[in-house]
Copies of this chain bind each other. A is one copy, B any other.
Amino acid sequence: MNKTGILIVLSGPSGCGKDTVLSQLIDSNEDIKVSISMTTRAPRAGEIDGVDYYFVTREYFEKKIADGSMLEYAEYNGNYYGTPKAPVDEMLRNGISVVLEIEVQGAEKIRKLYPDAVSVFLLPPSLNALEYRLRTRGTEDEETLAHRLYIGEQEIKRAGEFDYYVINDKIRDALDDFETIIRAEKLRMSRNKNVISEVINNV
């Protein structure tokens, strides 16, 4: 019955563990995929083009904006990040739920474009925990780290714009909460109006 997939917007401050939660979500759910974003920022150690992001030049990204093939995009920390539209729409049509891991600014745009989208904000247990994780990752110098923390706090203050929150204290619990939200949303009447005639007509 759930012929159309659900578009899920996932946001959360840098360092809150979005990538870890998402990779485990995908591993355990065949009918959920992550949309691969496009960015102009430089790859971090271990990141693979076409897997973590499509890493492109500013010129290429701006061309894609101009020809209308970006679902959303935002400039963040001096770099473009965005979602190519066509692959997302195709997956949804095929009954695949698609997670967009995007910044708070992008989430706002998606909610306007897809009123049926479900938005989830991943929260760290505290700002201290967020700082600890960013330091442990060790990929940024002090200045970048301070800037990321500042931006993180600003993002958390906008978490109220989202439909749901998940606190990433223990990864297992966070994954469980995220899956619960998606399962419940599949039982929404507004996504399944046909279920009524199916029961009445005994199909």
Contacts and interface: CB of A to CB of B under 8 A. Distances in A.
B184 A164 contact: yes
B126 A199 contact: yes
A106 interface: no
Contact of A156 (B161, B180, B200): B200
Contact of A180 (B123, B128, B180, B193): B180
Contact of A196 (B159, B164, B189, B200): B159
A164 B161 CA distance: 22
A190 B125 CA distance: 19
Contacts of A200: 127, 153, 156-157
A188 interface: yes
A108 interface: no
Contact of A125 (B160, B196, B199): B199
> Can you tell how many copies of this chain the complex includes?
2
A121 interface: yes
A126 to B, nearest CB: 4
A192 interface: yes
A61 interface: no
Interface residues of A, number: 35
Interface of A: 121, 123-128, 153, 156-157, 159-167, 177, 180-181, 183-185, 187-189, 192-193, 195-196, 199-200, 202
Nearest to A176: B183
Given A181-B184, A183-B184, A196 B163 contact: no
A156 B197 CA distance: 9
Counting chain B CB atoms within 10 Å of each CB, the highest count among A127, A128, A183, A184 belongs to A184
A159 to B, nearest CB: 5
A157 B187 CA distance: 17
